[in-house]
Structures are given as C-alpha cells and as structure tokens.
Amino acid sequence: MAHVLIVEARFYSHLNDMLLDGARRAVEAAGHSHETVTVPGALEVPAAIALGAETGRFDAYVALGVIIRGETYHFEVVSNESARGLMALTLDGLAIGNGILTVEDEAQALARADRTRGDKGGGAAKAALAMLDLKEKFGIG
C-alpha cells in the first residue's frame, strides 16, 4: 500500500473542495492511504512536495490548486513557475500528479474540478499512482 501526500493550494476553497474530494476518492479507491497539507497558493505547492519528500514518508504526491487568469501578468508567472517546480521534482524521480488548474474563468474551473464532470483532482491522483507504478516497474524507489 502506498502513502500519498496531497498538497492543496487553498486559494479558491469551493473549487479546491471538489479537487480534493476527487483526489482522495481516487487514492482510496486504489487501496492507498493519504495525508493532506494546505499551502497558501500554487507557487508554494512544489516546495511543500519537496519538504514532504525529505521526510521519506510518502510514495507519491498530488498537487492541487486553481489559478484563474486575471488582468495582470501574475497568472503566467504563477502558472509557469508552479508547473516548472513540479516538473523539476518529477525529473528528480518523484511520482507527482499535477492537478493545478490554469483556467480563464471560474466556469472553466468548475467544469474541471467537479468530480462528476472533469474530476481533475481524481485524474491527478491517478497520474501520481501511475507514475509510482512506473517507478516500481523500473525498480526505482
């Protein structure tokens, strides 16, 4: 049984509740356990995963959050840098599912976060577990 760390950027609580529900259900349906930690925003998600990895307690990681385009360049910075941080950790060998939504508006976020529609939280958890299976197939970890 794997132990999964779910890291959620709790900026849009109502949307994150949906992502978190999907991720938890997917991990539990696969027969694994999980813990959840909360960070202020998407930029902090990679750092929280890196800290969790240092403990050696987790086998896989799920990154959750919502970034909605605003009127400034901040959207691009947060979107790109959170994805870059997660990719760097993935290339270092961590099994991570990226469920950080980058959307134009709340309607797009709702369509993706809702477990009965897009279920991107569940999809991110399944991706993390698939990467964990791949690591095991290659004899890593």
Domain of 69, CATH number, reads: 3.40.50.960
Separation of alpha carbons 130 and 65, rounded Å: 20
- Domain range holding 122? 3-137
- Region 102-106: mean pLDDT is 96
Q: Is 73 a residue whose pLDDT tops 90? A: no
- 3, 32, 34, 74: which is the annotated catalytic residue? 74
10: burial class by Cβ within 10 Å (0-12, 13-18, 19+)?
A: middle
Sheet containing 33-39: order of strands: 33-39, 3-9, 60-68, 96-103
Q: Is 141 a residue whose pLDDT tops 90? A: no
User: Any binding-site annotation on 72?
Assistant: yes
Q: What's the pLDDT score for residue 72?
A: 84
User: Any binding-site annotation on 75?
Assistant: no
Separation of alpha carbons 121 and 141, rounded Å: 24
- Count how many domains the chain has: 1
- Note if 74 is an active site residue: yes
User: Any binding-site annotation on 44?
Assistant: yes
Report the percentage of the chain scoring pLDDT > 70: 100
